[in-house]
Structure 1
């Protein structure tokens, strides 16, 4: 009897082990490998990071790991923005990630280095390898601005707000309290995501990861496995011409004049030259006026002396 019990137990353990090693599909990230089902959860290796970065397919993958995976595969009249909001002008790069999947505060490309925020966006000028980045500054506010294609009539504002709020909470698993607003100013749609470090719990997805997934979806390069996002407002598919993401950190970025675009520098130079020219003209005019007044007074005095003589 005991041998039979032992054999049954051995078969049961083998069955459990086989079940634990069942291959699975990571529905929330297509840039993974070696996926295995462990205790009902699909775990995979992130492409480019290997087994050192296990991805839980029940939630969103961190933006840092997603960027690294993409680099491994490729290797190649509206509301005024906050004064400290800035765009990602560098685009895709091969990032260094912490073991938890978050960005390292200092990123480098060869001997050129810079500091990033929690969204992995450069927030300082580029320097040499001696650059010190004392902390990973948190991005607390992300502004996603989309411009939809031309249409005959405006969209229904309430239907639009409902679609985007439900999509962000359901598809990207973000708690609705982090969706600050959805604003429609035809043809622009602006979504504000706000998340302070004091508000975010360990189980909450990060707004930087949500914004990255969302931007990829809108641009037709979904990270989800065979699950494209169709933006449909009142049963009408919406097409977009442009999508821009702005970042606002809890500490203002540290860009110098040399980081400004040539166009902006040109505008600043023209304004300064115009101001200097205006000052020169004003001073010159006043001097000429002063000389004219003195000459006039002198002539009047000479006339008085001639009459008295």
Structure 2
């Protein structure tokens, strides 16, 4: 069971460890550290001793903007839809159905990643399907030689200490001279109320690797291998749900359709060029044979 105990933020210092924009105050009657995070026009109370739910973080980001390897599992999803303004419940969990301002709706998993085709405002999402496996693919940012076991241990230690995820939920694989895979696994029955979720860990981790950390500036992202910071880059996040996703080719976006059309036209053009070239070559060979026969007849007379 992935049980983790997280100490409450101490009153002294009173800072938001898990988000650099969190506002904290301990001047109230209870003298406890109370923290909030501004999300659009609202201030959302947050527990800065734990990772802040991804749904709230995505909502905040969307409202603040203008809009040879390991074989991945067949049902793995990548967040190709980008940033959107999500609907969250009172605990910061994604609602099963998400819509945009054009009345286009779809269903998401607990990571907020689309897992169905898109439809109109009548689109139904009977349940929020849990993401029980997240794996992060990344690359080494340098060629420094380190012991494989030391690197695996350092990655696990960083994830456990920085994000609060128990070690039993984390495994690390290395492939070749550059590739690193981190698996985060947590079944619904393993996660107790209030525990950190692997989807929140993956969101924070991706931000850290890309140099866009959400943590307080004092909380620097480091993977310490024998006392030296081991840098990584280019994270790709894959999400695997407890139930197969329902994305088909029936509802393609205009961008995908355009790409398919361009590829098909390019193939047709290539075939046409090959046919034309072959016909031209065939005519040239026939003419050459005709001239050779005429020359042989003249020589015999």
Q: So what's the TM-score if we normalise by structure 2? A: 0.74
Q: Given the superposition, is the C-alpha separation of residues 36 and 122 from structure 1 closer, same or farther in structure 2, using an over 3 Å criterion? A: farther
After TM superposition, the structure 1 stretch with the greater mean CA deviation from structure 2, 111-120 or 142-151, is 142-151
CA distance in 2, matches of 1:83, 1:41: 48
CA distance in 1, matches of 2:139, 2:257: 25
Unaligned residue ranges in structure 2 (runs of 5+): 1-10, 269-301
Q: So what's the TM-score if we normalise by structure 1? A: 0.72
Does residue 166 (structure 1) correspond to residue 160 (structure 2)? The answer is no
Higher helix content, 1 or 2: 1
The answer for the alignment partner of 2:44 in structure 1 is 53
Q: Secondary structure at the match of 1:229?
A: coil
Tell me how many residue pairs correspond in the alignment.
249
The answer for the alignment partner of 1:31 in structure 2 is 21
C-alpha deviations, 1:247-306, integer Å up to 9, x for none? 00001111111449569968x989xx9xxxxxxxxxxxxxxxxxxxxxxxxxxxxxxxxx
Q: Secondary structure at the match of 2:163?
A: coil
After TM superposition, the structure 1 stretch with the greater mean CA deviation from structure 2, 133-142 or 63-72, is 63-72
CA distance in 2, matches of 1:45, 1:202: 21
**1:175-254 paired onto structure 2 within 5 Å:** 175-179=166-170, 181-185=171-175, 186-226=177-217, 227-254=219-246
**Cα displacement (A) at 1:169:** 0.8
Unaligned residue ranges in structure 1 (runs of 5+): 1-20, 274-309
The one of 91, 108, 128 equivalent to 2:82 is 91
C-alpha deviations, 1:137-176, integer Å up to 9, x for none? 000000100012352x653211111111111111101111
The answer for the alignment partner of 1:63 in structure 2 is 54
CA distance in 2, matches of 1:171, 1:113: 35
The answer for the alignment partner of 1:115 in structure 2 is 107
**Cα displacement (A) at 1:234:** 3.5
Higher CA-based Rg: 1
CA distance in 2, matches of 1:134, 1:193: 26
CA distance in 1, matches of 2:151, 2:31: 36
The answer for the alignment partner of 2:138 in structure 1 is 146
CA distance in 2, matches of 1:187, 1:262: 34
C-alpha deviations, 1:180-235, integer Å up to 9, x for none? x2001131110001111111111321001111111111111111111220234334
Report if the CA contact (8 A) 1:157-1:184 is conserved. Answer: yes
Q: Given the superposition, is the C-alpha separation of residues 75 and 24 from structure 1 closer, same or farther in structure 2, using an over 3 Å criterion? A: farther
CA distance in 2, matches of 1:37, 1:251: 47
